[in-house]
Amino acid sequence: MAVDRLQKILAHAGVASRRAAETYIREGRVRVNGRVVTELGTRADAHRDKIEVDGRRIVQEKPAYYLVHKPREVVTTLSDPEGRQTLGELLDRVPERVYPVGRLDYHTSGILLVTNDGDMTDALLHPKRKVPKVYVAKLKGHIGVPELDRLRNGVELDDGYTTKPAEVFVIREEPKNTWVQITLTEGKNRQIHRMAEAIGHPVQRLTRQSFAGLTLEGLRPGQWRPLQTKELAKLKKQYLNPARKERLEADLEEAEQAAAPVRSPGMRPTPKRKTPARRGPKPAAASGGRSSGGRSSGRPDSKPSSKPSGGRSSDAKPTSGRPSSGRPGSGKPGSGKSGSGKPNSGKPNSGKPGSRSSGKPGGASSTRGKPAGRSSGAPAGAKPGGRPGAKPKPAGASPARSKPQSGGASNTRKPRGGASGGPRGPKKTTRRGGTR
């Protein structure tokens, strides 16, 4: 049990009613953990605190639950100063001190749940739980559809309160009366009587047939029985457990608010300083990482570049094991081309017929008597060690072709594409590299 008011704990333990328990507290007859308590509203825990009344320790009773069929002309209290029959007289053989969950009017019969479990009582009576209560009422006169709609949609009572929507339907009609069944999810004082008077059809007789799913089956007026295990489990699942969860969350929130520091209205909250994150050492660059400007990229999964930066490195090994063919127009070192600006590293003329280098003076090369008309120099993207005799890809517009110089005179061809000197199309070549 959670922390609760002291007079409520004494009433649940069967010591006395709440009013009598308050009197005991004022008189100084109650002690909590050895300290006399005289202030009303003191809270305690029945399971953890030691509570004594007149020197006798209070022991909480085991929770008990009973269903009672209250007859008419019985007061729903444990005692009545006017001497009327009370509910306590019907439950005189119940060993525990129990009290009713809710009330029924003096002239109203029906089902009542009595228990000594305060948490269950609070859960069933809280308006948020919307516990259904089914009544059968005998109303005076014939009730039409407009009156039934008013009962269903909400009726304004004598105090200005408008009731919540209810389920209403007619059971049977008599010449002078109408029997209706009404299901409410709220519990105002004499609500059914006040609703019937608001539509002009007062109540002649009223019985409560069901409460929170519990019925009067097998009970005659004045009889009672313990609640069955299945019925109790259903009540706890639908009403008690959600109420306990909400109360626990409310207690935790209240405790957090009480523990929070109190600030004055003009006091500003102190801003929180952000702690800088600690920076660890930079990861070492991988051995095969890509470098840019002498700085390591720091990426261990970097792959080495497959493209050379312009030409073959001095320590790079050629891909092919054969020497360069010295083919004209190949744009590679050792091609033996005139005017290339690079040393002729090609093979000497073999003297065989059909050889590509004619050995003419001036270093000019020819193929079958035709000029080898391409500008020397490999393009920027040329790969070293390529296939011998491969034609390099043109980079941009092709340069103008020129005949080899003979006797100091130059004979320059006109570029294709007209006089404007625009770009010409791709040059068709034979398999051996000659022009058609």
Which of 206-215, 368-377, 379-388 is the most confident on average?
Answer: 206-215
User: According to the 3-state scheme, what is the secondary structure of 205-221?
Assistant: EEEEEEECCEECCCCCC
| Residue 292 located in a structural domain | no
- Which among 10, 36, 60 is the end of a domain? 60
Q: Which residues contact 339 (CB under 8 A, 6 or more apart)?
A: 363, 376
Q: Is 105 a catalytic residue?
A: yes
- Which among 211, 244, 267 is the end of a domain? 211
- Catalytic one of 49, 54, 80, 105: 105
**Total number of domains constituting the chain:** 2
Q: What is the token pair recorded at 247?
A: 């109360």
Q: Which residue carries 């070549």 as its tokens?
A: 429
| Residue 76 located in a structural domain | no
Contact 104, 68 (CB under 8 A): no
**C-alpha closest to that of 184 among 132, 114, 115:** 132
CATH code of 46's domain: 3.10.290.10
Contact 339, 376 (CB under 8 A): yes
Residue with the bigger pLDDT between 161 and 3: it is 161
pTM of the predicted model, to two decimals? 0.54
pLDDT tens-place string over residues 382-400: 444 445 555 555 554 444 4
pLDDT tens-place string over residues 77-104: 888 888 899 998 999 899 888 889 999 9
Rounded CA-CA distance 324/263 in Å is: 89
| Residue 312 located in a structural domain | no
| Residue 434 located in a structural domain | no
Contact 61, 9 (CB under 8 A): no
Q: Is the dihedral of CA 406, 409, 413, 415 positive or negative?
A: positive
- Which among 211, 229, 253 is the end of a domain? 211
CATH code of 193's domain: 3.30.70.1560
Contact 74, 90 (CB under 8 A): yes
Contact 125, 187 (CB under 8 A): yes
Q: What is the token pair recorded at 259?
A: 């523990």
Contact 14, 116 (CB under 8 A): yes
Q: In the predicted model, what is the mean pLDDT of the chain? A: 73
3-class DSSP state of 9: helix
Residue with the bigger pLDDT between 161 and 335: it is 161
Alpha helices in 42-98 (DSSP H): 87-90
| Residue 301 located in a structural domain | no
3-class DSSP state of 406: strand
Contact 391, 429 (CB under 8 A): yes
Amino acid at 91: L
Q: Which range (50-64, 116-130, 247-261) has the least confidence?
A: 247-261
| Residue 35 located in a structural domain | yes
| Residue 34 located in a structural domain | yes
pLDDT recorded at residue 157: 93
| Residue 82 located in a structural domain | no
What range does the domain containing 183 cover? 132-211
